[in-house]
Structure 1
């Protein structure tokens, strides 16, 4: 691809500042694209990004020495070291945005060749994406999925580093995909950091919004405004699907309507396009969706009112691609679940241990209230908080847990560089202030899980939340790399722990 194509994309987006070396860019052909100088090869375009740990501008000389044909960055040429004669330096207002636009052009706009579905919101993205993928694939529609658990394309599974891949990896995988539909979990960080910039969506879904990432966004209003940007990236005939059981969802429907953007609503009020009613939130919930004066009864093989909401949203999205509603309902009934989302394992005494990713007060509430509604004799909750992450939600989460739990065990999550003594002190403070006398602090996560295991009784529901299927970054006492691995080690006969169906906390 000619460098001129990228240059035009930056100019059209008004982020091109100047080309600091006078050279005919029409004569330059790009053989590749990279933002990591160590991966640059002869003829590549290198995009220098100022990251959180490293500044890509410091690696321009390395990229040029490896054969970079051109460089894009944010800094003025006078600040750049290592530029060589004949290698143009293009200054852009935003390198992350420039990388996304360059990747989109280099991989020949893969979003135009597939049906692209984006799912955003605080909770429920993962299960909604898995539900939708199952529905489509059972209907014979091949589907890629890029998200928190893993990236799936062309029938293969690849490890995922982030909820939403970076712009370069995302466009590369979209170009590789031979599937008819591509589903993306779209985080607020991905939108703010331009990872999905340049991608146009056929369908965009909104699950909900609750207090999360305010250490990054500053306020709920700003958090909402970032999520809202996704719906400005719909294709001309694209459609928004909004779950309206939060004020933020209702507001989004109103705002999109005012702007003439087609929006389909789903929720418990009869004013919704998909009216969710007659909910029986048992261990295998049953509910009815009314659409266009027709009622569709759906049964779901995973517990929780939050998963009823997820399923309703997935049903509404699938309806845009599948005419036969019975096919959609059948897809939901056969749902295979999600690793680390309400993943249930049995203790030999009959207690249930549930591993879930729940990391907001709303998600905790949905998990624990489900157990209470389904007849748990006792609810024990093991959880902690990640270092250097949103501290403002911690007290609310402990209070939410205390409302539904019989006992809380506060423990460590990934420390992310925080002094263990500092985290321990905060856990004791939160326990004293918010747990209502129900809590204890056991800092080592695997020891906390063992304590719950050793004291489990028949009829107990014991939740271990916050990490889901993720591996530990912090070393703990037991030789286990995840919550599930810790439980398996604690069972004398590992094979006697048989996974139940799984689902995401909303």
Structure 2
């Protein structure tokens, strides 16, 4: 595409030097100078760890024929264009370069503190059960045209998203959209058909600073709905209710009581979503959704109120897409879960081990309560904290775990540049002051899991949370790379011992 055409995507732009080459042909776009190819447009991004403006000269040497950046003082031999925000420019230009690929899909964006991954896999499962093809990008993996790719981020950068949207031939395209991605303009240039809000609770305040700012940053997603796009909001969460009142677009809500009309768009169609009622959490989980005057009883294979919320919001979204309710109900009953999200592994004794990504106080509450509702005799919780991340939530997380559990094992998560000694000291203090005498510190994560495995008895529930399927960032004693691998290794060793006996 010609550069002069691409520049039309940007509203405010200044040419920093006389350019007679503005009508040159652009072969591709790059934000990493190491990936520049001949004929590329290089867009310099001011990152949080490094500044792309430092690599403009390298990009030009590698073949970049034009540069977009934010600094007026840049000196380069190729045409240079100055914008206020390189991230926004990247999204808009990438979208135009790939011929606005979000237009060829039904695009579903999912945001919220918890439940994004499970809800995305639920919707993919429902859509495929209805005979639809579906791509997905999120924390666990990117799935495009049936091919699975290892993710770079929950929400990749704008260039990668537009590339994946262009590559996908699937009818539907589901995206987990993180608050970081929204604040960093990674979904700029994308139009959403459906925007789903799952919930909001204390998290990432090292980045967003306050809950109010976190809420505002999450709300950005709904500025990217297509002209006929709809918001799907869990209004049972108080922040969801605030969001529904804030937006002036068509809204569908999941509620626990009668509907509240929030804007003129909802008044026009007289339909506002569905009501969740008659929840059964003990034993075989089931609940009822009231929608358009009809009651739908749903049986769901995963315990816990949080899992019911995810299933209900997926039901509402799928029916809004035009999928028959009975098809959705059948699909929910056959769902086998999202990788690393409330993933259950059975211990030979009859104990239940759960690998989950839970890393907030609210997520802990839901997970641990689900075990109580299923009649757990004893609950053990293994978790840690990531270095250089939101430390303000840690005390509440430990207090919540100690409140609901019989045993708490504090261990290492990713260090993220923080020393092991510093994390160790904090874990010792958290255990001393907030674990109610129920806690221990075992820095080796694999040995913490092994300790729980070797002492597990029938009726026990053991939760290993915080990482899901993520790989460890260091080697531990047992030869495994993730929490699930540790459990499977221990389980396999048990089988081997049984054979010997």
Q: What TM-score comes out, normalization by structure 2 length?
A: 0.94
1:298-326 CA distances to partner (integer Å, 9 max, x unpaired)?
11122221111001100111112224211
1:271-290 maps to which residues of 2 (within 5 A)?
Answer: 271=259, 273-290=273-290
Choose from 16, 22, 38 the match for 1:42: 38
Alignment correspondent of 1:67? 63
- Number of aligned residue pairs: 484
1:447-458 maps to which residues of 2 (within 5 A)?
Answer: 447-458=447-458
1:260-298 CA distances to partner (integer Å, 9 max, x unpaired)?
x11111022232620011111245411111111111111
Choose from 152, 176, 185 the match for 2:167: 176
Contact residue 356 and residue 467 of structure 2 kept, 8 A: yes
1:162-203 CA distances to partner (integer Å, 9 max, x unpaired)?
111111111000000000010100000010111101111110
Contact residue 322 and residue 328 of structure 1 kept, 8 A: no
1:243-272 CA distances to partner (integer Å, 9 max, x unpaired)?
01121011111111xx3x111110222326
Alignment correspondent of 1:54? 50
1:76-225 maps to which residues of 2 (within 5 A)?
Answer: 76=72, 78-80=73-75, 83-84=76-77, 87-225=78-216
Provide the rounded CA distance (Å) in 1 between the counterparts of 2:492 and 2:147: 34
Alignment correspondent of 2:475? 475
1:321-400 maps to which residues of 2 (within 5 A)?
Answer: 321-400=321-400
Provide the rounded CA distance (Å) in 2 between the counterparts of 1:486 and 1:323: 40
1:107-151 CA distances to partner (integer Å, 9 max, x unpaired)?
111111111110000000011111111111110111111111101
Provide the rounded CA distance (Å) in 2 between the counterparts of 1:226 and 1:380: 35
Asked if residue 265 in structure 1 is aligned to residue 256 in structure 2, the reply is no
What SS does structure 1 have at the residue aligned with 2:193?
strand
Provide the rounded CA distance (Å) in 1 between the counterparts of 2:398 and 2:488: 27
What SS does structure 2 have at the residue aligned with 1:350?
coil
Provide the rounded CA distance (Å) in 2 between the counterparts of 1:231 and 1:60: 34
Asked if residue 295 in structure 1 is aligned to residue 303 in structure 2, the reply is no
Where does structure 2 lack aligned partners over 5 or more consecutive residues? 260-271, 497-501
1:341-387 CA distances to partner (integer Å, 9 max, x unpaired)?
11111222221111110000111111110001101110000000000
What SS does structure 2 have at the residue aligned with 1:437?
coil
Where does structure 1 lack aligned partners over 5 or more consecutive residues? 497-506
What SS does structure 1 have at the residue aligned with 2:42?
strand
Contact residue 288 and residue 295 of structure 1 kept, 8 A: yes
Provide the rounded CA distance (Å) in 1 between the counterparts of 2:148 and 2:137: 10
Contact residue 378 and residue 460 of structure 2 kept, 8 A: yes
Moved more, 159-168 or 216-225: 159-168
What SS does structure 2 have at the residue aligned with 1:467?
coil
Contact residue 282 and residue 304 of structure 1 kept, 8 A: no
Contact residue 283 and residue 304 of structure 1 kept, 8 A: no
